Amino acid sequence: MSFKTNDTISLKVESYQEMFERVGKKDEGAFVPFVVAGDPDMETSLEIVKTLVDNGADALEIGFAFSDPIADGPTVQGADLRALNSDMTTDKAFEFVKKIREFTSIPIGLLVYYNLIYQRGVEQFYKEAHLNGVNAILSADLPPEEAEDAISAAKNNNIDQIFLVAQTTTIGRLEKISQVSSGFIYLVSVMGVTGARKEIKTSTVDLIKRIRKHNKLPIMVGFGISQPVHVKEVISAGAEGAIVGSAIIDIVAKNLSNKDEMLQKVAQYTKELKKATKL
């Protein structure tokens, strides 16, 4: 997959399909970390992402800071506030993604709230995402029934449109989501908001198996994944990978006064989670 950047340079980046094929050939699942762009500041945030990439991340999920992140728990809310307090904006967040593209070609997905997209103009937001090397966009508060403009803009700009599938999603709605999605299905492993949990519930494993019967796209499991055993469990159950956010952000939040220790702990944690993807 190629992107024409704002500097009119053709950039070859890995698609999600290529990424899943790459890890599959090694009998692994995908490990995808989530961070908020600009948390705690632009420079440190880029160093965190570089550390994640260097230590095994197969793709990246980047959040754009928002003042009212209704799908997120206290950990991600805190990251949003730190980013906003460091003067993060949508312009700077796109610049952040562009800087990531200077050192990696792995897939980058955005997790945003729809007001940020709507305020900028749907087509314009997706165009800028493409120009800065984004592979996919998930708007946490946008249901597929109201996503016609986003789906159209995604197709026009070579962006995968991602939707959430929850414990309460019916088979009929799952089939609808599968029809309008590309890239992968984002399975929410818990009832509630983002945040690290102690265990993966049996209902999550059952949901992975149920989704597999009605959907051909790869399945990524997020919300509540925080330990290597969680990663191993969801991949063993049939998911293609795991998205981990709050547990990484917790490391950042607890080590704000010592960046070297923060990055060292992020590196070690990343290695442990990636190792757990081995089938």
Q: Which residues are catalytic?
A: 61, 72
DSSP states of 242-278 as a string? EEE-HHHHHHHHHTTT-HHHHHHHHHHHHHHHHHTTB
CB 107 within 8 A of CB 136: yes
Residue type, 13: V
Tell me how far apart the alpha carbons of residues 188 and 279 are, in angstroms, rounded to a whole number: 22
CB crowding 74-93: b at 16 or more within 10 Å, else e: ebbbbbbbbbbebebebebb
Dig out the tokens for 17 from the structure.
């399909």
What whole-number distance in Å separates Cα of residue 225 and Cα of residue 190? 9
Residue 213, both tokens: 């019967």
**Which tokens is 158 given?**
């070579």
